[in-house]
Amino acid sequence: MAATPLYKQFADQLAASIREGVLLPGERIASVRIASQQRKVSVTTVVRAYELLESRGIIESHPQSGYFVREQAPASDKPAAKRSARQDNPAYQRSTEVDVSRLVLATLKTIQQDGTVPLGSPYPNPALFPSQRVSQYAGKIMRDASHSSVFDDLPPGHPDLLRQIARRYLENGLKVDPEEIVVTVGATEAINLCLQAVARPGDTVAVETPTFYAMLHAIERLGMRALEIPTDPQRGIDVDALEQIMKTQPVAACMVMPNFQNPLGFQMPDGEKERLVRLAERHQMPLIENAVYSELYYGNAHPSSLKNYDREGLVLHCSSFSKSLTSAYRIGWAMPGRYRAQVEKLKFLNTLTTPTAPQRAIAEYLTQGGYERHLRRVRRAFAQQRDLMRHFVLRFFPDGTQVSEPEGGYVLWVELPSRVDAMELYRRCLSLGITVAPGRIFAATNRYSHFIRLNYSYPWSREMEQALKLVGKLVLELSA
Amino acid sequence: MAATPLYKQFADQLAASIREGVLLPGERIASVRIASQQRKVSVTTVVRAYELLESRGIIESHPQSGYFVREQAPASDKPAAKRSARQDNPAYQRSTEVDVSRLVLATLKTIQQDGTVPLGSPYPNPALFPSQRVSQYAGKIMRDASHSSVFDDLPPGHPDLLRQIARRYLENGLKVDPEEIVVTVGATEAINLCLQAVARPGDTVAVETPTFYAMLHAIERLGMRALEIPTDPQRGIDVDALEQIMKTQPVAACMVMPNFQNPLGFQMPDGEKERLVRLAERHQMPLIENAVYSELYYGNAHPSSLKNYDREGLVLHCSSFSKSLTSAYRIGWAMPGRYRAQVEKLKFLNTLTTPTAPQRAIAEYLTQGGYERHLRRVRRAFAQQRDLMRHFVLRFFPDGTQVSEPEGGYVLWVELPSRVDAMELYRRCLSLGITVAPGRIFAATNRYSHFIRLNYSYPWSREMEQALKLVGKLVLELSA
């Protein structure tokens, strides 16, 4: 009797791993080349095994990104948010390759279409921005500076803007030297450069779960692995869980959004922020802080930053004006602590320069004043709209729906009844001209299959109410 | 008497090991952490010792890969340009790690200073640009589009600009579908994304030698290795040499600038361009083409592009408006052939979007007309200034100086008498308020220690002539 062929043996082992939950639905499996090396079998054997599993509907290939475990959430799959973090949950101890950007880009492009109700948008309502004034400055600077040369734009950034950013931090209780700052093309580039400065391809990077997908994008772009750390919807990343996990494996860096995290909306308590920084110090682990929502607080005072507790320059702080002043110019910045030189150099390598005119326009706006007044108006609007959005979601959505309580920013995290497939909801909403952000894009693994994120930065309207009612109806249908 | 500090003792021991050949040039030395453990000294001690050795030019740090014994070009090191390529020269068969960006940034920052004579500048004289008109469009667009949202900016780019770029290619004899194009933050980002789409960290990438440092930057940024291919000052990269080398080792991609290469100025003959593309086809090797100078030809017709010969989508063509229309906006693009989807995705990951207003301003300029007239004026000016620059260099510089014969663009490549240390020349010029670009930045290895590049995009002036005369005098001193 012939022995079982090697490729069938390998396929059966892999199927067992998937059945046992070692590999989760949506998770990427090792590339053919890697698997061939790891298992010490030929490339052909791996290819045949994968083809067999694909034909059985156990895995699927995504063009140009490899093979993935097919999405069939087992009944036992427990949602992570809204439950206390279990440090002994093995799902929290494995790092994962990341590939969410295609889905994110696809969802963003749907919002781009005219006339859609932008509940799925990650951006604040641009009508709230004082764009008219900033644009006037920019227009004037552009006309006057027609002979400006690219030299003026060399990193780290325009001195006027660096000074204004530092002044703004000082007003918010953080002493910053303008020389610590490197201007970037949005916070996106800042996060990318900071991560590249501190970790290498293949390294494991700890993230919150759920996390803002920009963090996952940075990890994906650099070929690193994401390690999802339990994150409390009120208190933020579980520092103890992170410490436990760091005992079992090397973690090259940790990326967090301590203030008004997207999508959960929490503000980490000061004590937790400090504990996180101390943990980082003990392990000399860099912390990448995404602070783009910090100005959008509903409380009485500007929240602290990890930078406030950073004694050793381990915090790489990233922010931008895109969420608080204008998104038209893509002006962000990094304060990379002890990694400043590397980040400045990577900025130079990545995009050479950030154009000066927009930097000068924003600097001019900040110099002329009115930013704080503008922000107060925005914060008030968002706080009211949060209450309305929560109210109507709880009214229109079926029993079992739970919503977050954001303390700043403009997004609501919604846990739907567990039978609801948020991707299917997303598709059905889209056919009605409504966008929602499916939970799938907030994790490297498919933990949030029945979660959505809703944007409440737009003023409440009859149209919004009708749209939300429709979404609620679809949720009810899908939960049946 | 105080004892020699510990870090100095350690530095001296290490220097001795290097002198005695225990550690070879190019060899990596122990990481700070490892050295600290091995020598039982503090991390600070090791860091200070390494800094001392670096300042002495004995070791050098390579980003994210540690410290290496410096390569000190032996006396027998022969310059590559102006000599026929030797395929059996072992210097052409080793790939090298790349770390030139710090030196490049330092030289660019010197040009930034007011009042320096910008002979070392890589940029064309901005006074030649029709910036006034483009800026007026931009100013108007910015004021009108104050509510524009970031969605309008999502990759691949603004449709009006994509159409105008495609139309421009068509006018120049290349049929391009607007959908092939991805707009980027300058050609710098385009080159970075294209390289990342086709090769991985550690891979070997073939480049011309000398090459434009933007190519080296892309390789450095991604932790790849540069393989320098003999490049003829008139005919461009030696296709036969490249083919020979590809038989001995895997080459993941090849990066070239076929038209008016910086720094050599050649235009590859059509036959050579075609041979290069056919070679790429036989090996299914991606070709990254940097075309930023293609519009700046002195001849009668627009030169062909590698894209003209590309039947299989293997050419990733990169360009920008920064050298021909305006550098103020950092608008570049890639036409990545079969790698389009990956490049669009990487663009999204890298900087999310390219701001729309500058894209629309340039599209408006191209729609309104006048680009070709502007370019004709610039080409005429550059052709005349080339002749003047060549004339005066040969007049002011000592015997043994040789100059290139650029057929487009605005830079001259100058081979000085072989005893001249171009880095020393660069420093002495700087002290006199004159910048030159040292040959060191045009190769991963120190092949061009007695070469400089001069910019002739500025109209000839008394001041320029005086400056050049001074440079000539310094060259004479250094060649003694």
Does residue B77 have a pLDDT over 50? no
The structure tokens listed for A93 are 């101890």
Of the ranges A100-104, B80-84, B458-462, which is most confident? B458-462
Q: Averaged over B331-358, what is the pLDDT?
A: 93
Of the ranges A118-127, A437-446, B278-287, which is most confident? B278-287
Does the beta-carbon distance from A223 to B217 stay under 8 Å?
no
- Chain B residues inside the 8 Å CB shell of A350: 188-189, 192, 221, 350-351
How far does A349 lie from chain B, in Å, by closest CA? Answer: 6
Nearest to B322 among A146, A150, A152 (CB): A150
Query: What are the tens digits of pLDDT across the range A217-230?
Result: 999 999 999 999 99
The structure tokens 């150099």 sit at: A345
Query: What are the tens digits of pLDDT across the range A312-350?
Result: 999 999 999 999 998 888 999 999 999 999 999 999 999
pLDDT at B46: 87
Q: For the structural domain made of B131-372, what CATH number should be given?
A: 3.40.640.10
Per mean pLDDT, which range of A25-34, A468-477, B153-162, B433-442 is the poorest? A25-34
Identify the sign of the CA torsion B168, B174, B176, B180.
negative
- What does the alpha-carbon distance between residue B84 and residue B330 come to, in Å, rounded to a whole number? 38
Q: How many helices (H) and strands (E) does chain A have?
A: 15, 15
Tell me which DSSP letter residue B178 carries. Answer: G
Identify the sign of the CA torsion B260, B264, B270, B275.
negative
Provide the H-helix boundaries in A40-180: 43-55, 101-112, 131-144, 159-171
User: Coil, strand or helix: which one is B112?
Assistant: helix
User: Coil, strand or helix: which one is B384?
Assistant: helix
CB atoms within 10 A of CB B235: 14
- Chain B residues inside the 8 Å CB shell of A220: 349
pLDDT at B442: 96
Enumerate residues 195 to 214 of chain A having a beta carbon within 8 A of any beta carbon in chain B: 200-201
**Percentage of chain B surpassing pLDDT 90?**
64
Best of A111, A121, A151, A356 to substitute, by most chain B Cβ atoms within 10 angstroms, is A151
- ipTM > 0.90? no
Higher pLDDT, A262 or B28: A262
Does the beta-carbon distance from A186 to B217 stay under 8 Å?
no
Query: What is the architecture, at CATH level 2, of domain A6-72?
Result: Orthogonal Bundle (1.10)
Does residue A297 have a pLDDT over 90? yes
User: Coil, strand or helix: which one is B269?
Assistant: coil
A152 touches chain B (CB under 8 A): yes
Which three-class secondary structure string do you get for B89-100? CHHHCCCEECCC
B24 touches chain A (CB under 8 A): no
Does the beta-carbon distance from B189 to A351 stay under 8 Å?
yes
Does the beta-carbon distance from A322 to B355 stay under 8 Å?
no
The structure tokens listed for A392 are 């109507």
Nearest to B101 among A138, A348, A357 (CB): A348
- Chain A residues inside the 8 Å CB shell of B441: none
- What does the alpha-carbon distance between residue A411 and residue A264 come to, in Å, rounded to a whole number? 8
The percent of chain B in helix, strand and coil, each rounded to the nearest 5, is 45, 15, 40
For residue B402, the cross-strand partners are B415
Does residue A86 have a pLDDT over 60? no
Q: Which long-range contacts (CB under 8 A, 24 or more apart) does A110-114 make?
A: A110/A430, A110/A435, A111/A435, A111/B151, A112/B151, A112/B152, A112/B154
How far does B250 lie from chain A, in Å, by closest CA? Answer: 16
Nearest to A126 among B134, B149, B220 (CB): B149
Do residues B431 and B477 lie in contact, with contact meaning Cβ atoms separated by under 8 Å? no
pLDDT at B446: 85
Residue-wise DSSP of A417-465: PTT--HHHHHHHHHHTTB--EEGGGGSSSS--TTEEEEE--SPP-HHHH
Does residue A91 have a pLDDT over 70? no
Nearest to B102 among A105, A345, A355 (CB): A345
Residue-wise DSSP of A433-446: TB--EEGGGGSSSS
Per mean pLDDT, which range of A292-296, B84-88, B423-427, B435-439 is the poorest? B84-88
Do residues A309 and A290 lie in contact, with contact meaning Cβ atoms separated by under 8 Å? no
> What does each C-alpha distance from B190 to B198, B216, B453 come to in angstroms?
13, 14, 24
Beta-sheet strands, E only, within B148-284: 182-185, 204-209, 225-232, 236-237, 253-256
Higher pLDDT, A56 or A334: A334
B192 touches chain A (CB under 8 A): yes
Do residues A408 and A298 lie in contact, with contact meaning Cβ atoms separated by under 8 Å? yes
Enumerate residues 33 to 72 of chain A having a beta carbon within 8 A of any beta carbon in chain B: 64
Residue A90: pLDDT band (50, 70, 90) is low
Residue B238: pLDDT band (50, 70, 90) is very high
Q: Averaged over A474-478, what is the pLDDT?
A: 97
CB atoms within 10 A of CB A285: 18
Residue A80: pLDDT band (50, 70, 90) is very low
Q: How many helices (H) and strands (E) does chain B have?
A: 15, 15
Does the beta-carbon distance from A351 to B131 stay under 8 Å?
no
Residue-wise DSSP of A329-371: S-EEEEE-GGGHHHHHHHHHHHHS---HHHHHHHHHHHHH--H
CB atoms within 10 A of CB A196: 25
Residue B24: pLDDT band (50, 70, 90) is low
Does residue A149 have a pLDDT over 70? no
Do residues A217 and B349 lie in contact, with contact meaning Cβ atoms separated by under 8 Å? yes
On average, the pLDDT of chain B sits at 88
The domains of chain B are located at: 6-71, 100-128+373-479, 131-372
| Residue of chain A with shortest Cα separation from B185 | A351
Query: What is the architecture, at CATH level 2, of domain A131-371?
Result: 3-Layer(aba) Sandwich (3.40)
Does residue A380 have a pLDDT over 70? yes
Q: Which CATH superfamily includes the segment(s) A101-128+373-479?
A: Aspartate Aminotransferase, domain 1 (3.90.1150.10)
The structure tokens listed for B430 are 């700087």
User: Strand pairing of A411-415 and A437-438?
Assistant: unpaired
Helix (H) or strand (E) holding A187: helix A186-198
Nearest to B357 among A102, A149, A328 (CB): A328
CB atoms within 10 A of CB B180: 20
Which three-class secondary structure string do you get for A217-272? HHHHHCCCEEEEEEEECCCEECHHHHHHHHHHCCCCEEEECCECCCCCCCECCHHH
pLDDT at B23: 67
Query: What are the tens digits of pLDDT across the range B350-395?
Result: 998 888 888 999 999 999 999 999 999 999 999 999 999 999 999 9
Cα A252 to chain centroid distance, Å, stands at: 18
- What does the alpha-carbon distance between residue A326 and residue A127 come to, in Å, rounded to a whole number? 10
A127 touches chain B (CB under 8 A): yes
A23 touches chain B (CB under 8 A): no
Best of A352, A354, A359 to substitute, by most chain B Cβ atoms within 10 angstroms, is A352
Residue B84: pLDDT band (50, 70, 90) is very low
- What does the alpha-carbon distance between residue B208 and residue B216 come to, in Å, rounded to a whole number? 10
Q: Averaged over B423-438, what is the pLDDT?
A: 92
Phi and psi, residue A184, nearest 5°: -135, 170
Query: What are the tens digits of pLDDT across the range B178-190?
Result: 999 999 999 999 9
Query: What are the tens digits of pLDDT across the range A10-54?
Result: 888 888 777 755 666 777 788 887 788 777 788 888 888 888 888
> What does each C-alpha distance from A302 to A369, B43, B51, B362 come to in angstroms?
18, 38, 40, 40
Phi and psi, residue A122, nearest 5°: -90, -5
Q: For the structural domain made of B100-128+373-479, what CATH number should be given?
A: 3.90.1150.10
Q: For the structural domain made of B6-71, what CATH number should be given?
A: 1.10.10.10
pLDDT at A313: 95
pLDDT at B75: 29
A283 touches chain B (CB under 8 A): no
Query: What are the tens digits of pLDDT across the range A172-202?
Result: 999 999 999 999 999 999 999 999 999 999 9
Q: Averaged over B211-239, what is the pLDDT?
A: 95
Higher pLDDT, B379 or B135: B379
Cα(first)–Cα(last) distance of chain A, in Å?
A: 50
Higher pLDDT, A210 or A480: A210
- On the CB side of B473, CA atoms within 13 Å amount to 10
Residue B111: pLDDT band (50, 70, 90) is confident
Per mean pLDDT, which range of B16-20, B97-101, B277-281 is the poorest? B16-20
- Chain A residues inside the 8 Å CB shell of B348: 101, 104-105, 217
Enumerate residues 413 to 472 of chain A having a beta carbon within 8 A of any beta carbon in chain B: none
A336 touches chain B (CB under 8 A): no
A150 touches chain B (CB under 8 A): yes
Does the beta-carbon distance from B352 to A330 stay under 8 Å?
yes
